[in-house]
Structure 1
């Protein structure tokens, strides 16, 4: 199937757009190693994915807290402080030019997360990017986690476009795979995940950086 230039581009939030450095710093201040965040984040995703697969649900905050309790000796009040650091996230330096490139090309920009409501809004506002984003969507509204098919189709419905006219940009291969299986156009670039998983179908667009991913989408036929 020939992929078309999207009318709307959705962006994953955590890591793709927003830098998790404040969360990592809070863990270090609590006496934990810098590497702990990667371990906890992976367990958080596992928790949420498993709940969605079996027809259950939990919030990102609860899943992260559970994962942190499993992987560290931190008491509940310290874990709450770590979780509150998600409200302090800021965009990576390459985000502003990428979002501006799309809006100047007449393409709507939204965010699509399964994270806690307000995290994307706060991060975008901190970076002065709110005017560039038409909507901030979180699948907590439908009690499901990406990469479940229903999340991407719900997002397309919210954006009032057919799935094939919605693209998903993410630095996580599992997210791009989920989007493509739901009929969206997927675009991947490396961030914390340096290599696209070879066991997945190839992304429709792959680039060395975020702006390259955006340019790849804009180069698709109208």
Structure 2
């Protein structure tokens, strides 16, 4: 199937748009190695994915707290303090020009996260780029975790577009795979992952960086 230039581009939030450095710093302040963040974040996703797979559900914050409890001996209060720093995130430097390029080309921009509502909005406001984003969507509203197809179809429906007229840009291969299986155009670039998982269906769009991913989407035929 030939992919078409999207009317709406949805962006994953954590790591794709927002820098998790404040969370890493909070771990260090709590006496933990900053390198632990990768393990905790991965376990958070594992917990959420597992719950969704068996037909259950938990919030991102709940999964993150459970991951911290498994990987550290931090108190409940200390874990809460670390989790609170998700509201202190800021966009990566390459985010503003990428989003502005889409908006100036007449493409609608939204965010799509399974993170807690308000996290994306706070980060966009902190970076001064909230006006570039039409709306921020959290699949927590429908108690679904990406890469469940329900999350992507809900996002497309909320934006009043057919799935094939929406693209999902993410630095996580599993997210791009989920979007593509739901009928969206998937675009991947390296940020936290060095390579796209070879065991997944190839991404519709793959670029060396965020700017390249956006340019490739805009270059698709209308």
Q: TM-score range by the shorter chain?
A: over 0.9
Q: Where does residue 80 of structure 1 map in the other structure?
A: 80
Q: Where does residue 199 of structure 1 map in the other structure?
A: 199
Deviations 1:35-72, CA, capped at 9 Å, x for gaps: 11000000000000011111110000000000000000
Q: Quick one: distance in 2 between partners of 1:193 and 1:51?
A: 24
Q: Quick one: distance in 2 between partners of 1:33 and 1:12?
A: 26
Deviations 1:141-162, CA, capped at 9 Å, x for gaps: 1001000000000000000000
Q: Quick one: distance in 2 between partners of 1:30 and 1:131?
A: 35
Q: Quick one: distance in 2 between partners of 1:217 and 1:52?
A: 30
Q: Quick one: distance in 1 between partners of 2:54 and 2:157?
A: 24
Q: Where does residue 126 of structure 1 map in the other structure?
A: 126
Q: Where does residue 29 of structure 2 map in the other structure?
A: 29
SS of structure 1 residue aligned to 2:154: helix
Q: Quick one: distance in 2 between partners of 1:147 and 1:192?
A: 17
TM-score, normalised by the number of residues in structure 1? 1.00
SS of structure 2 residue aligned to 1:69: helix
Deviations 1:143-192, CA, capped at 9 Å, x for gaps: 01000000000000000000000000000000000000000000000001
SS of structure 2 residue aligned to 1:117: coil
Q: CA RMSD in A?
A: 0.4
Q: Deviation of residue 34 (structure 1)?
A: 1.2
In the alignment of these two chains, the number of paired residues is: 222
SS of structure 1 residue aligned to 2:215: helix
Q: Quick one: distance in 1 between partners of 2:49 and 2:31?
A: 29
Q: Where does residue 213 of structure 2 map in the other structure?
A: 213
SS of structure 1 residue aligned to 2:6: coil
TM-score, normalised by the number of residues in structure 2? 1.00
SS of structure 1 residue aligned to 2:186: strand
Gaps of 5+ in 2: none
Q: Where does residue 152 of structure 2 map in the other structure?
A: 152
SS of structure 1 residue aligned to 2:103: helix
